[in-house]
A and B are shown apart, each in its own frame.
Chain A
Amino acid sequence: LAKTTQPISMDSYEGQEVNITCSHNNIATNDYITWYQQFPSQGPRFIIQGYKTKVTNEVASLFIPADRKSSTLSLPRVSLSDTAVYYCLAASGGSYIPTFGRGTSLIVHP
């Protein structure tokens, strides 16, 4: 299980693009990178997942360089409702113990 490191907190303003980078230096060949979002008083929810290069969905983009030792979650034009904690996981399917860590607390200001 690859250990991940991400900033504890970030601040942004409405309309800006936010990039949250996660380091996973010892990522394994079979590991996928998954990001979750957690609002206060709710359980985390899946945002996006990728293996390499770039993945985009209606919520975010995920950039993974060739060496896969890091990944960047990109949130375009954030709004106040994007204020949440964002968790990065690097793991493979099957038998693994998920480690969410403390995540990155993103605060979007008016």
Chain B
Amino acid sequence: GAGVSQSPSNKVTEKGKDVELRCDPISGHTALYWYRQSLGQGLEFLIYFQGNSAPDKSGLPSDRFSAERTGGSVSTLTIQRTQQEDSAVYLCASSLVRTVDTDTQYFGPGTRLTVL
């Protein structure tokens, strides 16, 4: 079946512009995560959606970052007034939340954002 897809795969923008990154999770997965990965670094958690619950936004680095998930499926991560330090790969993952064991996350290929 189809995995997690993300678009665009690459995005180059100018400092100060807004960008939107899209994630299509695996059908039926109730949990959706956004991460940021800078060059040579680990994954930095940004935001977590679970079903109809309020998202956990504790990882968002500033109020320029926001995300929404429409209809419990597609999610959009928006970065306003982009800065050069926002340059990174943005990864999306989805999972079927189970109560017994931990959620296995399925990752998309990521969007490489470059802010000039």
A16 CA / B105 CA spacing, docked (Å): 29
Known interface pairs A45-B107, A49-B104, A100-B42; A93-B98 also in contact (CB < 8 Å): yes
Q: Mark B38-77, 1 if CB is under 8 A from A, else 0.
A: 0001110100101000001011000000000000000000
Listed stretches A56-64, A65-73, A84-92; interface member: A84-92
Q: Mark B96-116, 1 if CB is under 8 A from A, else 0.
A: 011111111111111000000
Q: Residue A89 contacts which of B48, B56, B93, B102 (CB distance < 8 angstroms)?
A: B102
Residues of A within 8 A of B103 (CB): 93
Interface of B, secondary structure class, is: loop
Residues of A within 8 A of B97 (CB): 93-94
A43 CA / B102 CA spacing, docked (Å): 19
Assess the A46–B106 pair: CB atoms within 8 A: yes
Assess the A43–B104 pair: CB atoms within 8 A: no
Known interface pairs A44-B107, A97-B58; A102-B91 also in contact (CB < 8 Å): no
Residues of A within 8 A of B42 (CB): 87, 100-103
Ordered by A's residue number, 25 sampled pairs between the chains whose C-beta atoms are within 8 Å are A31-B102, A32-B101, A34-B102, A42-B109, A43-B93, A43-B107, A44-B93, A45-B106, A45-B107, A46-B105, A49-B102, A87-B42, A91-B102, A93-B97, A93-B99, A93-B100, A94-B99, A96-B102, A97-B48, A98-B33, A100-B35, A100-B42, A100-B43, A101-B42, A102-B42
